[in-house]
Structure 1
């Protein structure tokens, strides 16, 4: 295939185009993927889409170099969180540069890494790589790493396996080898409606919900006191958190239903199934005493989202390689937020690390930014990785 020799746009220029696509989770990302493909296809990059069931969103798998196992996959999501209700200093979907910072929704989380990765693919395209370089762009990560699963399921049926996956979430260009797993859950509390003037003759579902929250708080204290501890995390133990509570329609009606959305974020040495089993026992203990009067009294728990944790051994050869390419020997970190890393590790059996430009402290808030310095450091790291793939001599990246 004849390759286009047009000038390669800078990472900042690519980032400006990526930010301009308002790819809020569950909305279409197809226009963004069209742009990325229009950049990569003329350079001879092999491209494959994996569409959502309704066809409005898709993952993109892009590859360079020889077919087969080994090499590196650079992975990132292109969806962003909403901007509604946030007080931005400028249009969040128009990149603004000021005082060495690049402002816009998704600059830190995580279109900055995607821009650097696309630039790296374009730089690598004319080269004869000894080991493959892949780019994975996924959708709907912000709502539970939903999109990437279909792509990984398809890739898992193929014999080829990358030797390393780098998730480019913002770590300040530190290497993270772990994050907690997450279960997103909904508790549906069923009571019995009635007139509020006769409230004792009904069963208030909000009261069931309040009792359930009290039990969740007790479980949290138990995990803090006696659960597994991992001091690499800011919060070194597993956590239980209630984020949403809905119930009731009018003040003079005793509500018959209350829904609570809650989550479990577990360290590797805690079993989330065991934690959930204890919570289910609590739910039954709350509802059971009411059944003589109210046979339908119950608290049902369903899983609505989730992803596995990531735990890559510090002695993995790729860790030493990345440290050498970064040119420093910082201690490994573990991040509080989740990624698709555990899915890559679990579905494909690929050693996975998290390393990307920017800081999550800037993500999900007004005037999100990534610094030009961080974006440049990421660009240098990916160029160094490409050099290693060209040489084909790094045992950590070989099949």
Structure 2
């Protein structure tokens, strides 16, 4: 099967983040096992979704994990000019479909190269590690990694997460934390602003607190010029409250997006936010006893990671792709989870992230072909490594 044919099959599974991925993961499982490779499924508690891992090659330390996710982002409301779940070749050098770039192109390269991996005399193994629900917070990564560590007596050295990077090594990402906040105040006539507690006003204070916290981090000198921006960021992306100009709002909701440099403590920032909200509750309950601020995680923290530009992982990617220029990113991936588990982690996959999450998403044929070439180069390297 060619890599394009494999990609055509994979994009035909319309698995959105949060939905069951059992159809695609069982198809992948059957395909892998047709080559005599045993696979392990790691289901969620309801058995409606599953991750998959397997080992190709000998049970020795030092192997390479190839990791990707099976879910994609929604297409509803986007102006697609083609069927999102049918691979379309427009003869312009690109292949169009949802997930073609993010990140079924990488999965297609892994699976297309599987016959060569099986036939090769690998000195160190290759592992596949495919997850679900990456697009809604990397929710399956920890359980998959724990299962991998429990399933094999040996310990892999590297984890290559195949997010679209134009096959350039990405050596760092910020942590990402989405926090939803509901402020419950007291409704009343706007002339009574000092006798009531406005949920809108209190929400505004939280927005200003977040901005000041970001500025305090900048002023403290916490920076990393590898990233853009080179500091941790706190951003209010959504806020909604009130029903009329002359009515004091009794409810306002807002969402914060916090992206931390690897050296900053995302958990501490979250605790600082909670402490601030508790202090506002205590102060304003003297005016309205029912005043409350509810702070909830939209999803758990997606951890940051930082790999040295002189690491063996960077050298490996350079060897199998020819790319020596590294990058860092501020978007979420599962690389932080693998790094926290002790693997030398790096992001490298075919396609451009600029094409992800948009209408008429595509991957170029050139990138897809270079992706499969990377796989063949990895196989050749591990035959001697």
Whole-Å separation in 2 of the counterparts to 1:162 and 1:78: 22
TM-score scaled by length of structure 2: 0.92
Q: Within 5 A, what are the aligned runs for 1:345-364?
A: 345-347=339-341, 349-364=342-357
**Corresponding residue for 1:228?**
222
**Corresponding residue for 1:187?**
181
Whole-Å separation in 1 of the counterparts to 2:147 and 2:22: 20
Aligned length: 382
After superposing the two structures, state which structure 1 stretch, 83-92 or 35-44, moved more: 35-44
1:296 aligns with 2:290: yes
Residue 387 and residue 235 in structure 1: after superposition, are their counterparts in 2 closer, same or farther (change >3 A)?
A: same
**Corresponding residue for 1:175?**
169
RMSD (CA atoms): 2.1
SS of the residue 2:65 aligns to: strand
Contact 1:40 1:122 in 2 (8 A): no
Tell me the CA shift for residue 197 of structure 1.
7.8
Contact 1:288 1:298 in 2 (8 A): no
After superposing the two structures, state which structure 1 stretch, 210-219 or 248-257, moved more: 248-257
Residue 160 and residue 28 in structure 1: after superposition, are their counterparts in 2 closer, same or farther (change >3 A)?
A: same
Whole-Å separation in 2 of the counterparts to 1:15 and 1:385: 20
Contact 1:196 1:252 in 2 (8 A): yes
**Corresponding residue for 1:22?**
14
**Corresponding residue for 1:4?**
none
Whole-Å separation in 2 of the counterparts to 1:146 and 1:152: 12
**Corresponding residue for 2:63?**
71
Whole-Å separation in 2 of the counterparts to 1:149 and 1:252: 49
Residue 292 and residue 368 in structure 1: after superposition, are their counterparts in 2 closer, same or farther (change >3 A)?
A: same
1:324 aligns with 2:316: no
Contact 1:227 1:238 in 2 (8 A): no
Whole-Å separation in 1 of the counterparts to 2:190 and 2:49: 47
Tell me the CA shift for residue 296 of structure 1.
2.9
Residue 257 and residue 227 in structure 1: after superposition, are their counterparts in 2 closer, same or farther (change >3 A)?
A: farther
Tell me the CA shift for residue 342 of structure 1.
1.2
Contact 1:191 1:298 in 2 (8 A): yes
| Structure 1 unaligned regions, length at least 5 | 1-8, 395-399
After superposing the two structures, state which structure 1 stretch, 275-284 or 381-390, moved more: 275-284
Whole-Å separation in 1 of the counterparts to 2:41 and 2:275: 44
Whole-Å separation in 1 of the counterparts to 2:189 and 2:146: 51
SS of the residue 1:273 aligns to: helix
Contact 1:173 1:356 in 2 (8 A): yes
Contact 2:196 2:287 in 1 (8 A): no
Whole-Å separation in 2 of the counterparts to 1:80 and 1:316: 31
**Corresponding residue for 1:375?**
368
Q: Within 5 A, what are the aligned runs for 1:1-399?
A: 9-98=1-90, 99-158=92-151, 159-194=153-188, 201-248=195-242, 254-305=248-299, 306-330=301-325, 332-347=326-341, 349-391=342-384, 394=385
Contact 1:43 1:126 in 2 (8 A): no
Residue 189 and residue 133 in structure 1: after superposition, are their counterparts in 2 closer, same or farther (change >3 A)?
A: same
Contact 2:195 2:287 in 1 (8 A): no
SS of the residue 1:270 aligns to: coil
Tell me the CA shift for residue 200 of structure 1.
5.5
TM-score scaled by length of structure 1: 0.89
| Structure 2 unaligned regions, length at least 5 | none
1:293-350 deviation digits (Å, cap 9, x = unpaired) = 21232434333322110111222223212212222432x2111212111111212x11
SS of the residue 2:136 aligns to: coil
Tell me the CA shift for residue 28 of structure 1.
1.2
Whole-Å separation in 2 of the counterparts to 1:88 and 1:308: 33
Tell me the CA shift for residue 252 of structure 1.
7.9
Whole-Å separation in 2 of the counterparts to 1:250 and 1:150: 47
SS of the residue 2:150 aligns to: coil
1:207-228 deviation digits (Å, cap 9, x = unpaired) = 2112211222222333344341
SS of the residue 2:156 aligns to: coil
